Amino acid sequence: MLQFIVSSFLVLIASLFQTTSLFLIGGVKPNLALVFIVAISNFEKTWVRRVILVLLAALILTFAPFATWIDIIFISATLFAVALLDYLPWQRIVNGIVVVSAATIILNLPGLNFGIIVLELIMNIILVSVFTLLLGIFYGTKKAQKKNRF
């Protein structure tokens, strides 16, 4: 449960940062919410919790008083990415890179600007690799300790 609370807090912070222009690099911002959800979903296998995280991010990212089509695309693309994660056979980081790339392309389809997609892909891939590694250290260690006790 503590892991889920920490994950929710991380997704909340990442989504809030995504609604600012603080991380604009070359006029492009990384999709922090997507990156965190994918990185966390590598360790969080309960589907209800995954869906809660996706909806939490979508709620914060909503840019109007009502849901718009981009919110629906975000929810669908992120859920698709999380589902795909379970079917890929490679290591966590590689799986993360593949699903984040797929979701980034889907999310950028409305604008379809090659330069922006490439720049965002690079940023998202670097971030998902780093966060998967970091979460692996914190979440992974905790799981190993539990196993040892029994």
Partner 1 sequence: MRKYVSIGVIVLLSALIVRNGSFFDVKLRTSSLLGAVLGIDFENTKELRQRIETLEKENERLKAELLEKSNETISSIKVYSSYPFNSRSEIAIASGAEDSISQGDTVVYSGTVLVGRVKSVFESSSIVTTIFDPSWEMAVRIGTSEADALLKGGNELKIFLIPQDATIEEGDTVISADRNLPYGLELGYISKIENTEGDVFKEAVLEPALKLRNLRDVTIYR
Determine the residue type at 133. Answer: L
Report the residue from 5, 65, 148, 150 that binds partner 1 according to the rule CB under 8 A: 65
Handedness of CA 121, 36, 84, 55 (dihedral sign): negative
Size of the site for partner 1 (CB under 8 A): 27
Tell which one of 1, 2, 22, 137 touches partner 1 (CB under 8 A): 22
Enumerate the H helices of the chain as residue ranges: 2-18, 32-41, 47-61, 69-87, 92-108, 114-149
Q: Does 129 bind partner 1 (CB under 8 A)?
A: no
Position 33 contacts partner 1 (CB under 8 A): yes
- Give the pair of three-digit tokens for residue 138: 């914190």
Interaction site with partner 1 (CB under 8 A): 15, 18-22, 24, 26-29, 31, 33, 61, 63-65, 70, 74, 107-108, 110-111, 113, 115-116, 120
